[in-house]
Amino acid sequence: MAAAVTQMLDEVAAPLNLAVEVQGVTRQLTLVTRGVGLGCVPVQVARRNPLRSRFKSFHVRNHHFDLAVWAVHRDLPTMLTPVLSAITAQFSRL
C-alpha cells in the first residue's frame, strides 16, 4: 500500500514522508485516533473496528474501488492537509 500511495503522491508533486509503517489495523487506527497521521483501511474493517467512533472518514467521489478503501483520519495536523488533498485529488482522477 505504501508504494502505491508514494507513487500516486509523486505524480502530483506531493512526496510522502513515511515516518511509521505499522502492521495491523488496530495499531494503525490507534495512531490515527491519537492524531498522528493518516490510515487507509478496508471499509468493512473500519466499520467493525472498536475505535470507529474516534476517527473520521470520507468517501472518494466518482471512484469505485474493486476493494473499497477509506482514508481515515482524526483532526489533521496542518502539515498533513496537503497530503490528504493530494490523495483525494489523485483518487478522483482515476
What pLDDT, in 10s, does the model give residues 16-65?
777 777 888 888 888 888 887 777 777 788 888 898 888 887 765 555 55
**pLDDT at res. 42:** 76
Classify burial at 84, counting beta carbons within 10 Å of its beta carbon; exposed 0-12, middle 13-18, buried 19 or more: middle
Per-residue pLDDT, averaged over 66-90, amounts to 74
2-93: CATH number: 3.40.190
Q: Is the pLDDT of residue 67 over 70?
A: no
What's the CA gap between 63 and 30, in Å, rounded? 27
pLDDT at 15: 74
